[in-house]
A and B are shown apart, each in its own frame.
Chain A
Amino acid sequence: MPCLLLRNNRLVKTVQFNNPDYIGDPVNAIKIYNEKEVDELIFLDISATTEQRSPPFKMISEISNECFMPVTYGGGIRTLEDMKKIFSLGIEKISINNYSVEKPEFIKMAAEQFGSQSIVVSVDVKKNLFGNYKVWTHSATKNTNLDPVNHAKIMEDLGAGEILLTSVDREGTMKGYDLDLIKLITENISIPLIACGGAGSVQHFADAVKAGASAVASGSMVVYQGKNRGVLINFPLQEEIKRIFDSNNIY
């Protein structure tokens, strides 16, 4: 599924969470994905938390109107009221990142009120100099020093329905997912994991699923075309995905 980044109501793409490159208008992108038989879309407002502002409700409403598939929204979520408002705009799931670290019990409150199915906890992970994985927040500018396995387990216990796992080091590189990280987390949790960060080909999707991911998200691959990263909103054909998954014995 495409994972799209919003910044000031514009679609951007980053590399390792830096250098946001302007991609285009979100609504135009959605219109293209509507044609491509995309099963789900993720929109993350990457500046809502760092700029300490509320989610962009007007934009979220437009996104919901345009999408002919279920949508997950994330970015700047800190209150149950905001979540209620976003669900009422027609969004299916809400992703919470920073606030799940700052106030873990919020996940419990959210899951109790809205049901685990609609709560995604987004976990951004970066390797430190010693090769240990750590959870980072605020668009990967703050190291929490938390161990991602423990954090994911706690989130599951508190009622998260899914984990959206992003490898900061791989994000935007199109070099493939961090398969070790995916394995490490999925071996320790029983809720579905969406892998994000590093997809450059359909084979990478298959690798992530074999490593334990329930679903795969991609950013660069679905907004760029070719080596020079020319902007082109696209999505692999269902037949191609099926062919490559079949050849990897994934059903």
Chain B
Amino acid sequence: MIVIVNIGMGNLGSIANMLEKIKVKSIISSDVNDILKAEKIILPGVGSFDNAMKNLTDMNLVPLLNERVLKDKIPILGICLGIQLFTRQSEEGILPGLGWIDAATARFRFDGENAKLKVPHMGWNTVKPKHDSSLFSGLLQEPRFYFVHSYHIVCNNDQDVLATTHYGYDFVSSIESGNIYGTQFHPEKSHRFGMKVLKNFAEIG
């Protein structure tokens, strides 16, 4: 059973529906007992970094998630704001992140020719995986996914970077670090490409 962690921000219905479509059992929950029993976790999120961290803290989920992810090492997938919460901190807020990945979250900054690029980065864009991985297995060499974000993560450790995407410059659009996975894009809004990514995550071992 995959638990889609509900931190009270955004609509999680399309993630649950996409998993149902590929016959993967999931529940949307923020209940401690559900997360204790979870085989895998998806941490989605839209909204601001501090709001999300505050909600996780208020719901007493931080120690529990630390235990499940860092100690039990169950696979977790962060989506959009979710991947950013894995980092140490974000330029968007002042609260510390979960800090599972040696990375920080930065705002898109453009100068020169790129100055007219709009933030948020919104729309379909190509994702270039750096190497073979379970998350992108069975997809085209450069699959397309749907993005909506103003911030992106910056990894200190190159090995954590699973894929990059170009918008003004190359930024990290997916990570893999042991049992920790993340996508800056929205698989649940990226039809067959996203469905394959979720299926791959569900099949991780």
Contact = CB atoms under 8 A, between A and B. Distances in A.
A154 interface: no
A86 B76 CA distance: 29
Contacts of B122: 92, 115, 117-118
Contacts of A66: 13-14, 17
Contact of A88 (B10, B189, B194, B195): B10
B189 A67 contact: yes
Contacts of B21: 34, 68
A90 B192 contact: no
A25 interface: no
B65 interface: no
Given A37-B191, A37-B192, A67-B189, A90 B13 contact: yes
Contacts of B118: 115-117, 161
A115 B150 CA distance: 11
Most buried by A among B10, B191, B194: B191
Interface residues of B, number: 21
B43 interface: no
A68 B11 contact: no
A115 B122 CA distance: 10
A64 B18 contact: no
Nearest to B150: A115
A68 B120 contact: no
Interface string A22-43: 0000000000001001110000
Contacts, number: 59
Contact of A67 (B14, B148, B195): B14
Interface string B14-25: 101110010000
B121 to A, nearest CB: 9
Q: What DSSP secondary structure best describes chain A's contact surface?
A: loop
Interface in A35-73: 37-39, 61, 64-70
Contacts of A179: none
B188 interface: yes
20 contacts: A37-B191, A39-B124, A61-B13, A65-B13, A65-B17, A66-B14, A67-B14, A68-B14, A68-B21, A68-B188, A68-B194, A69-B146, A69-B189, A69-B190, A69-B191, A90-B10, A90-B14, A92-B189, A117-B120, A117-B122
Given A68-B195, A69-B189, A115-B118, 14 more contacts: A39-B191, A61-B13, A64-B13, A64-B14, A65-B13, A65-B16, A66-B13, A66-B14, A68-B194, A90-B13, A92-B122, A115-B122, A117-B122, A161-B118
Interface of A: 34, 37-39, 61, 64-70, 88-90, 92, 115-118, 161
